[in-house]
Amino acid sequence: MYEKSFTIEIITPGRVVFSGQVTSVSAPGVEGGFQILASHAPFMSAIGVGRLTTKGTDGADTRYATTGGFLEVKDNRVVVLAEAVERSDEIDVRRAEAARERATDRLRTPTKDIDIERARAALLRALNRLQVAGQP
């Protein structure tokens, strides 16, 4: 069965993470997740920490960990402008586990020098990276 495709560009300040044809995109909107298919109406959304998934024209899914940004749909083209994005196979699991441990320790034993909201955000990012990488 033929599915219509569209172009997506996933861009961070440092690089173009992906540019190519896909048949769908699922994204972590800040108000809830959503999916984009070919010929979608113009749309713009803030995205949060979570999993962005693309389905290639070959049917294969590619997962990305994102830490927030914006997604725009216009003229059968999706542009994701994100603070940071990592493809699942690019995630350094040891580094993510270390970040999870640091954040957990800070939250367990807070001191006046610890910014609790920053520690929670760091924990959320680390847990997301580990989940996207397929780690427990």
* Digit-coded pLDDT (tens) for 4-39: 999 999 999 999 999 999 999 999 999 999 999 999
pLDDT-derived band at 3 (thresholds 50, 70, 90) equals low
Class of the domain covering 93-132: mainly alpha
Per the rule left: phi > 0, alpha: psi between -120 and 50, beta: everything else, 21 is beta
Class of the domain covering 6-88: mainly beta
> Mind listing the pLDDT tens digit for each residue in 79-113?
999 999 999 999 999 999 999 999 999 899 878 88
Q: What is the pTM of this model?
A: 0.88
- What's the Rg (C-alpha) of the chain? 16
pLDDT-derived band at 128 (thresholds 50, 70, 90) equals very high
Residue 94 is which amino acid? R
User: 3-state class of 36 per DSSP?
Assistant: strand
Q: Show me where the domains of the chain are located.
A: 6-88, 93-132
Q: What is the dihedral of CA 120, 126, 130, 136, to 10 degrees?
A: -40
